[in-house]
Amino acid sequence: MTNTNLYLPFEVDFKELAQFPKTIRKNNFFELIYIVDGTGIQVINNNTFQYRKGNMFLVTPQDVHSFEIITPTKFFFLRFNEYYIKASSQNGQSEAVLRMEYILQNASHRPGCILKNQIDKPLIASLIDNIIGELSNQQIYHQKIIEQIVNTIITIVARNIALKLPKNIKEKTGEMVLEILHYIQENIYNPKELKSEKISDHFNITLNYLGKYFKKQTGETLQEYIANYKLRLIEARLLNSDMRINEIADELNFSDESHLNKVFKKHKGMNPSEFRKRYS
């Protein structure tokens, strides 16, 4: 297995390959891989997905991945790290961190295309085509233009990850459950807004219907989903920040560090400090 490093804030690359390098890779950065054309199989963390034109994959740090090419494939690679996201944010640090947080949460994603929002697929295709054109023509300011397009692509990816579906939900599911998921993600730091009564009022549906509908669509109760979502946030902070346990507990509205430890150990079989030491 090969560990690869990124020495610039971001890199873009375009390759047409008949055979993907056989070395299994593990990056210390984030990598977006877009299939411009071709077919094959994505292999990530021992899971597989049959790829085709228009698919986009997110490979996060620590993911082990490779591709098995069936027909010659044109790959577009965009590699970046969290420092690039924070430095390039146009709307303040808090939004940049939130965007990055969405990306980090995808560390446990299933294999497959991350573009869940149908209207974003042609937009991504057009943006990548423009980058390829800028790389080819090398006209004045082309690097600055590419940087602006990269910012847009990452923002669109963040939007799609924000709509990341629980494993039991289907992509063809109705819009309302996606809106509820997005509402929960937006209000995860404000427990008062996550009470079932508040959510039912916000979406103008009865409390009884909300519970049954959410469970049917996602396979989880509202409270189970919220609890699991918080656990993913805790994991992201443990693995990708130097925040102390009491700081994480305070941010996510646990009563204290002991409460967070108890909840985390119940679900993960170890306390947060052990988890950080083992997997960082």
Q: What is the mean pLDDT of residues 178-203?
A: 88
| Residues 154 and 247 occupy one common structural domain | no
Q: Is 244 found in the same domain as 143? A: no
Give the pLDDT of residue 51.
Answer: 92
- In this structure, are 35 and 154 located in the same domain? yes
Which tens digits make up the pLDDT trace of 241-261? 778 999 999 988 999 999 999
Of 162, 192, 216, which closes a domain?
162
Domain shared by 145 and 206, yes or no: no
Mean pLDDT computed over 195-210: 94
Domain residues for 202?
175-279
In a domain, 80, yes or no: yes
Give the residue with greater pLDDT, 196 vs 60.
Answer: 196
Q: Give mean pLDDT, residues 82-89.
A: 63
Residue 167 has pLDDT above 80, yes or no: no
40/131 same-domain check: yes
Report CA 219 to chain centroid distance, whole Å: 21
Same domain? 182 vs 101: no
Same domain, 244 and 149: no
CB under 8 Å to 31, separation ≥6 — which residues? Answer: 58, 59, 77, 78, 79
Confidence of residue 104 (pLDDT cuts 50, 70, 90): low
pLDDT of 109? 52
- β-strand partners of 71: 39
CATH code for the domain in which residue 241 is found: 1.10.10.60
Is residue 195 assigned to a domain?
yes
Q: What percent of the chain has pLDDT over 90?
A: 40
Residue 169: its pLDDT value, please?
54
- The sign one gets for the Cα dihedral 67, 63, 107, 231 is positive
Q: Could you tell me if residue 169 is inside a domain?
A: no
Q: Which residue has the higher pLDDT, 176 or 25?
A: 176
Same domain for 180 and 99, yes or no, is no
pLDDT reported for residue 100: 56
Number of domains, the chain: 2
In a domain, 224, yes or no: yes
Contacts 24+ apart (CB under 8 A), 143-147: 146/12, 147/10, 147/88
48: in domain:
yes
Q: Which band of pLDDT confidence, cut at 50, 70 and 90, is reported for residue 113?
A: confident
Helices vs strands, H then E, count in the chain: 11, 7
Q: The whole model's pTM is what?
A: 0.58
**pLDDT for residue 240 is more than 90:** no
Q: Are residue 157 and residue 209 in the same domain, yes or no?
A: no
Q: Do 113 and 35 share a domain, yes or no?
A: yes
- State the pLDDT at residue 171: 45
Q: Compute the distance between CA of residue 69 and CA of residue 35 in angstroms, rounded to an integer.
A: 11
Q: Does 142 score more than 80 pLDDT?
A: yes
Is there a single domain that holds both residue 50 and residue 7? yes
**Is 42 found in the same domain as 144?**
yes
Residue 122: CATH number of its domain: 2.60.120.280
Looking at residue 110, its pLDDT comes to 54
Rg of the Cα trace of the chain? 20
